[in-house]
Amino acid sequence: MTERQQPVLSVQGLTIDLPPTADRPHAVRDISFDVKQGEIVCLLGESGSGKSVIAQAVMGLLPKTLVTTAGDITLLGESVCKANGERLRQLRGEKMAMVFQEPMTALNPIMTCGDQVDEQLWQHTKLSTSERRQKVLDIFARVKLPDPERVLRSYPHQLSGGQRQRIVIAMALILKPALLICDEPTTALDVTTQAEILSLIAELQAQSNTAVLFITHDLGVVAEIADRVVVLKLGEMVEQGDRLDVLQQPKESYTQMLLAAVPGLVPKHREPIVDAYPLLQTVNLSKTYWTGAWPKRKHRVDAAKNISLKVLPGETVGLVGESGSGKSTVARCIARLIEPSAGEIFADGLSIATVTGRALYPFRRVVQIVFQDPYRSLNPRRTVGEAIIEGPLNFGASRAEAWKQAEELMHLVRLSPDALHRYPNEFSGGQRQRISIARALACKPKVLIADEAVSALDVSVQAQILELLDEIQQRLHIGILFITHDLRVASQICDRIIVMQRGEIVEEGATQDVFVNPQHTYTQTLLAAAPGRGFQFGLA
């Protein structure tokens, strides 16, 4: 074998047991694959498939509740499973490093970004302070951070999500490890930032000939970056092979199911909604923030500026754009979770832009919102049944009526009514999102605001939630304001698209028109940045 062919990472027959109370005996069972120098191997699968457990095992970071009972992991020929704590600390950083999904939880909020990257050099090298500082500035420039001197002094909260992810990548690469593990590093990022991070990882990997183990459930990302793919299901390895073989000629039904669930960028044909009285309308809606305080000069930020939109009965209107474009600000203003600075909001004919207190009660029945993270929006101390009936009880329904309606709603969102007696932590992410939708529908709204409601879900669960929303809309004829940065999702569910940039609407129109013939350069940039654009999944 040549040096190129020697595996940097070799996982052979790996089996990791779950605690006795778990719903299955093994987190992963009999997993084997290699990652060679200069190669990107993607671990693909739904939540609970064991992807992150494998990454933790490679890094020697398995929680004590998980036990490796068979197999071995070797890094550059050395067993990771047999290494003691001291040796593992030496290997981390020098020989292997990890980029985590959420940089805000991976970074220390009370340390500057420069100090956090410098800590790696201080722990593993004998460089002087000035030499370490220069190396940190060099890696910041290499990961294309603007103004490295400023970033060096900045704290994590002072940077954008994409910049924080670049800091985490800089920390991982500063010691030039042989193996880089990326655990869902782009899941929560908008398409343009995601494209930049993927391009950066591929560029840095090519420059250093690093082996990369890339963990994701996004098939668009896999199509964009992978050399080889390993498909996992409930801890079992279903299929592995070259990217084109797995994505275009999948052998196993599970892989075929995942590929079939990927929403396409070509919009579905949707019959135009006949002109009707809008259920929801905003006119020149604006939200302004002022930053800074005396004695410094205050700075004006227009989070949303002169936003005018309509949502008709039975219509889904998509609000798309990058993080910071003002999408969620508009949603929260419409839902009256924050106060708009100017403009009008009409919901089912009611003017509610300046209404406060109890006068908002009728409006709360008209407009309901489903948030991105259902676990944070559900009270962990209350059963899901109590969460669903809370709204109807507040509006005067009897407990018996509210509970009967909750049982009907559970059928509507394809869950068993028996689940009403369980707590949020007893459900999967997709099930919790179904419960959040049921809770929103319990108040019998005419408009549903879905704020990134499927962005963190697996493609198969995402497809189920989108199908569910479509079915509910057809049955109840409600209007949906669908907020997302995922253009694939928007193309499949939306009748009309509104594109936002820096707090303003830059383009709007029928989904087919916007996706097939975008007029604004920003819309063109968003579409061009979609991962896997033009890739034909599951076709020979």
Provide the mean pLDDT of the chain: 86
Mean pLDDT, range 453-478, rounded to an integer: 82
Clarify whether residues 105 and 232 are in a common domain.
Answer: yes
Joined tokens for residue 420 = 């009403």
pLDDT on residue 223: 86
- Residue 487, pLDDT > 90, answer no
pLDDT tens-digit series, residues 55-76: 999 998 888 888 889 999 999 9
The answer as to whether 157 is a domain residue is yes
Phi, psi of 242 (to 5 degrees): -65, 150
What's the CA gap between 34 and 237, in Å, rounded?
13
pLDDT on residue 498: 95
pLDDT tens-digit series, residues 387-445: 999 999 988 889 999 999 999 998 888 888 988 998 888 776 678 888 988 998 898 89
Clarify whether residues 191 and 296 are in a common domain.
Answer: no
- How many residues does the structure list for the chain? 540
pLDDT on residue 534: 67
- Smallest CA-to-CA distance from 448 within 362, 364, 534 is with 364
Clarify whether residues 257 and 284 are in a common domain.
Answer: no
Count of domains observed in the chain: 2
Last residue of a domain, one of 213, 234, 261: 261
Q: Read off the pLDDT band of 190 (50, 70, 90).
A: confident
The answer as to whether 351 is a domain residue is yes
Clarify whether residues 202 and 254 are in a common domain.
Answer: yes
- Stronger pLDDT, 166 or 12, i.e. the higher one: 12
Q: Read off the pLDDT band of 540 (50, 70, 90).
A: very low
Clarify whether residues 246 and 302 are in a common domain.
Answer: no
Clarify whether residues 218 and 345 are in a common domain.
Answer: no
Helices (H) and strands (E) in the chain, counts: 21, 20
Name beta bridge partners: 68.
16
Clarify whether residues 172 and 314 are in a common domain.
Answer: no
Q: Read off the pLDDT band of 537 (50, 70, 90).
A: low
The answer as to whether 26 is a domain residue is yes
The answer as to whether 158 is a domain residue is yes
* CATH assignment of the domain containing 372: 3.40.50.300
Clarify whether residues 393 and 298 are in a common domain.
Answer: yes
pLDDT on residue 1: 39
pLDDT on residue 193: 75
pLDDT tens-digit series, residues 202-260: 887 888 888 999 988 778 888 888 999 999 998 999 999 999 999 989 999 999 988 88
CB atoms within 10 A of CB 296: 8
pLDDT on residue 325: 83
pTM value is 0.77
Mean pLDDT, range 316-339, rounded to an integer: 88
- Smallest CA-to-CA distance from 279 within 102, 114, 477 is with 477
Clarify whether residues 288 and 228 are in a common domain.
Answer: no
pLDDT tens-digit series, residues 274-298: 767 899 999 999 999 887 666 667 7
The answer as to whether 76 is a domain residue is yes
The answer as to whether 537 is a domain residue is no
The answer as to whether 536 is a domain residue is no
Listing DSSP states for 425-491 in one string gives GGS-HHHHHHHHHHHHHTT--SEEEEESTTTTS-HHHHHHHHHHHHHHHHHH--EEEEEES-HHHHH
- Smallest CA-to-CA distance from 228 within 4, 95, 101, 38 is with 38
- Stronger pLDDT, 455 or 165, i.e. the higher one: 165
The answer as to whether 516 is a domain residue is yes
Mean pLDDT, range 165-170, rounded to an integer: 85
Name beta bridge partners: 92.
96
Q: Which of 108-122, 142-156, 333-347, 514-528 has the lowest mean pLDDT?
A: 142-156
Listing DSSP states for 486-530 in one string gives -HHHHHHH-SEEEEEETTEEEEEEEHHHHHHS--SHHHHHHHHHS
Last residue of a domain, one of 232, 261, 290: 261
Clarify whether residues 72 and 135 are in a common domain.
Answer: yes
Please give the residue range of the domain that contains residue 351. 280-529
Clarify whether residues 186 and 58 are in a common domain.
Answer: yes
Clarify whether residues 178 and 299 are in a common domain.
Answer: no
pLDDT on residue 2: 42
pLDDT on residue 364: 84
